[in-house]
Structure formats: C-alpha cells, structure tokens
Amino acid sequence: MRRVKMAIAATALVGATMFAGATPAHAATSLRGVVYDYSECVRIGNYGIQNYGWTGPLQCVWNSTGNGSGLWFIYA
C-alpha cells in the first residue's frame, strides 16, 4: 500500500511540474473599468493596452440598467 501511495504522489508531482510553467493558449479577458459612454470605453481601453500592458482584444460591452440608461464595461 505504501508503494502505491508513493507512486501516486510521484506521478502527481511530475504532472504538476510539467504544467507549472505552461501558459494558456489564450488568456481570458479581465474587467478593466466601467464608464457611461462608448467613446470613453474605447479611449480608456486603448490607453490601457498601449500604456499599461493590458492584453487585447479590447471589448466594450453594454449593460442596460433600465429606462434607456446603462453602463459600458471595458474588458481587455
């Protein structure tokens, strides 16, 4: 039984070592900010990509809050 546990632990350690340095093929986008205007979304998103190293692509997503108003969510 002890040998089986040691073999499982060794296999898990080798597997974890192989994937520890791996990077995802495509990193998921992160929420970077919330604004009222689409033009501000694009401006701030492009500024963040150019100056702060945000990864692209830039996405501006509209979320309605009702009564014709809403917010733009910046993802990059």
Closest CA to 35 of 63, 2, 4, 3: 63
CA dihedral 50, 55, 59, 64 (to 10 degrees): -100
Determine if the pTM surpasses 0.75: no
**Could you tell me the residue ranges of all domains in the chain?**
2-75
pLDDT at position 22, please?
A: 47
pLDDT at position 56, please?
A: 84
Highest mean pLDDT among 4-8, 16-20, 53-57: 53-57
Q: What is the Cα–Cα distance from 16 to 29, expressed in whole angstroms?
A: 25
State pLDDT tens for residues 38-65: 999 999 999 999 999 999 899 999 999 8
pLDDT at position 18, please?
A: 43
